[in-house]
């Protein structure tokens, strides 16, 4: 019985270490893809965009939305959720004044749809591949295009 308990405890420890290692590798991948080299610091290098419209993104251009600025950081691949299928995610940094956050979009295991996010107590969705929010039908988005919509009610 002691032998079984010892092995069971070791399995839990190894499982926990594996999860911690996986998360650490994912964080390192995100940090590597979000290198600040080439990030424009000049306000004139921003592209203005409105909600519910297509906008092109790249790693070296800030996109200025009405409530925040957005910068594409890069992609990462994970096999999270107990699945062994690689899942590609696109990571973005959003900034307004001293507030900042990292958001992402992914098709997950194949469902192409909007991904909700919150920033500064407001609700938004980010769409890639297909844009359907607030429109009749769907519009295809290009390889480096996205659309962001604000989904909460403005005061």
The answer to whether the pTM exceeds 0.85 is no
5 lies in some domain: no
109 or 22, greater pLDDT:
109
Instruction: Give the angle 56-57-62 at the CA atoms, nearest 5°.
Output: 120
78 lies in some domain: yes
The mean per-residue pLDDT over the stretch 116-133 comes to: 87
- pLDDT, tens digit, for every residue of 41-61? 555 578 999 999 999 999 889
Tell whether the model's pLDDT for residue 137 goes beyond 70.
no
Residue 139 is part of which domain span? 34-150
Q: What is the mean pLDDT of the chain?
A: 75
Residue 92 pLDDT: 95
The mean per-residue pLDDT over the stretch 111-135 comes to: 83
Judge whether 46 and 62 are in contact, CB under 8 Å. yes
- What total of structural domains would you count in the chain? 1
Tell whether the model's pLDDT for residue 134 goes beyond 60.
no
- pLDDT, tens digit, for every residue of 68-100? 999 999 998 877 666 677 788 899 999 999 999
28 or 68, greater pLDDT:
68
Give CA torsion, residues 21, 24, 25, 26, to 10 deg.
Answer: 120
Q: What is the CATH number of the domain that holds 61?
A: 2.60.98
1 lies in some domain: no
d(CA 94, CA 140): 24
Query: Residue 28 corresponds to which tokens in the numbers above?
Result: 């390192």
131 lies in some domain: yes
């Amino acid at each position: 019985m002691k032998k079984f308990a010892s092995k069971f405890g070791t399995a839990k420890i190894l499982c926990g270490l594996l999860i911690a290692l996986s998360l650490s590798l994912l964080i390192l991948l995100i940090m590597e893809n979000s290198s600040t080299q080439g990030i424009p610091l000049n306000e004139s290098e921003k592209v203005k965009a409105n909600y519910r419209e297509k906008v092109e993104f790249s790693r070296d251009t800030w996109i200025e939305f009405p409530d925040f600025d957005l910068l594409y950081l890069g992609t990462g691949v994970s096999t999270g959720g107990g699945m062994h299928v690689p899942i590609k995610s696109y990571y973005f940094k959003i900034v307004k004044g001293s507030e900042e956050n990292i958001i992402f979009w992914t098709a997950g295991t194949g469902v192409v749809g909007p991904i909700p996010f919150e920033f500064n107590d407001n609700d938004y969705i980010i769409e890639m591949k297909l844009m359907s929010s607030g429109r009749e039908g769907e519009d295809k988005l290009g390889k480096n295009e996205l659309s962001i919509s604000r989904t909460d009610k403005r005061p």
